[in-house]
Structure formats: C-alpha cells, structure tokens
C-alpha cells in the first residue's frame, strides 16, 4: 500500500511557484467568473483565491446571478482577453441551466484558458503539444503516479465529476498514460450501473462536490 500525502505535495509545489514568481519578477493575475450559488463552486474558488494569494498571483472574482445572459458573460470574457494584466481566465463549472457552456468557454482566449477546456486546447492536448497542461487533470495524474508508481497502463479509473467537459479533458490526460478511463457526471450519479462501475475499477476519483 502506498500513502500519498497530497497536502505535503501541494505545499512543495506552491513554494516552488512562489519562488519562481519572485525570481522572474512576475506579477501574474488570474480572473475567475462565478455564476450562480453552487456551494461546491464557492469552495473551489475560495481555495483557488487562497492559493493565489500565497504564491503572489493576483486574483479577481466576477460574480453573476444564475439569471445572467450568455452575452453578458461573453462580453466580460472578451474584455479580460484584451486586458494585458490578466494572464489566465477560469469560468467555474458547472454553469446554471440555460447558459451555453460551449459558447462561454469558447470565448476565452486559448492562451489564457487555465482549465484547458477550450476546444482548441483540447485538440492540442490530444495531439500531444498543448499550450499548457490542464491544471486539475495534471494534478490528479501526479497524485495517481505517486500513489501507484509507474504501473499505470491497463489500470481502470472512474471519476465522479461535476461537468462533462471536465470529464472529457481528464479522459484525454489519463488515457495518454494507458489508463482505461470512464467518468460519471454528478447529476446522474444515481444512474443504473454506477455502483457496479465503482466496484470494478482500480482507481476512483471524486471531484463532484457531492458529500458521501
């Protein structure tokens, strides 16, 4: 049995990032868009903000009601694309019903797409030369490697996720390592076959914000 200390690893990475930012005299700033009142999303954003502050990354949060129009969010994203002070943009998923996720994500400049969800970035990831690796899937892969060592090809993994687009991106990252991967979006976690899938897999990943 291998014990992976995620907090210890995270601390090491944060220190390395902070040192690199100071050494290069950088002043990066990230913009995050939150729509609605999803409690899990609020927690994720709070943690991102705390981590950004610790390493010296600026953090701007733009909050919108669930009734906001697609066009208003797209307009803000285009403004952020043109803002030279903003190095990265995140649209927190899932979005409330009625919003066009693909249109909103597609408005992000691929060079500022921190999550790697833009269609262009997923294409580049599939081809093996992404602009940069999608952050959370890459972190998950690092954790799996630390826990299981190099014995990954042929392993089965199932993830409980909060959005289809995240599941697709995670699939691209893990299958490059030879992992047989499937995912279940949290609003259908009760669907027939879910429990059987979890019992038959080697690796279970939970990133859906659903307690228990």
**Which residues have CB under 8 Å from 175's CB, separation 6+?**
181
What pLDDT digit, counting tens, does each position of 178-197 carry?
999 999 887 655 555 677 88
Would you list the domain boundaries of the chain? 6-114, 137-207
Reported as a single tens digit per residue, the pLDDT across 115-127 is 999 999 999 988 8
Alpha-carbon span 180 to 159, nearest angstrom: 11
CA atoms within 13 A on the CB side of 20: 8
For 153-169, write each residue's pLDDT tens digit.
999 999 988 888 899 99
Specify the fold of 137-207: Rossmann fold (3.40.50)
Structure tokens that stand for 188 in this block: 């259908």
Q: Is 33 helix (H, G, I), strand (E, B) or coil?
A: strand
CATH of 6-114, one of 1.20.140.10, 3.40.50.300, 3.40.50.10860, 3.20.20.100: 3.40.50.10860
Q: Which residues contact 60 (CB under 8 A, 6 or more apart)?
A: 29, 30, 31, 32, 86
DSSP β-bridge partners for residue 34? 63
Rg of the chain, C-alpha, whole Å: 18
Evaluate whether 6-114 and 137-207 have a shared fold. Answer: yes
Span 49-63, average pLDDT = 96
Q: What is the pTM of this model?
A: 0.82
For residue 39, what are its two tokens? 């409690």
């Amino acid at each position: 049995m291998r014990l992976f200390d995620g907090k210890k690893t995270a601390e090491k990475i944060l220190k390395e990032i902070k040192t690199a930012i100071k050494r290069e005299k950088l002043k990066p700033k990230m913009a995050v868009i939150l729509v609605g009142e999803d409690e899990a999303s609020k927690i994720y954003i709070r943690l991102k903000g705390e981590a950004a502050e610790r390493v010296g990354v600026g953090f701007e949060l733009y909050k919108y009601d669930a009734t906001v129009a697609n066009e208003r969010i797209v307009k803000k994203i285009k403004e952020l694309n043109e803002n030279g002070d903003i190095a990265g943009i995140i649209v927190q998923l899932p979005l409330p019903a009625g919003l066009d996720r693909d249109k909103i994500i597609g408005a992000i400049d691929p060079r500022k797409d921190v999550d790697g969800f833009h269609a262009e970035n997923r294409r580049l990831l599939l081809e093996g030369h992404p602009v940069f690796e999608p952050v959370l899937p890459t972190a998950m892969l690092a954790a799996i490697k630390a826990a299981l060592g190099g014995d990954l090809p042929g392993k089965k993994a199932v993830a409980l996720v909060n959005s289809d687009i995240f599941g697709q991106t995670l699939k691209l990252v893990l299958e490059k390592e030879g992992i047989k991967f499937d995912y279940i979006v949290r609003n259908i976690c009760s669907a027939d076959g879910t429990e059987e899938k979890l019992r038959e897999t080697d690796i279970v990943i939970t990133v859906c914000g659903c307690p228990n």
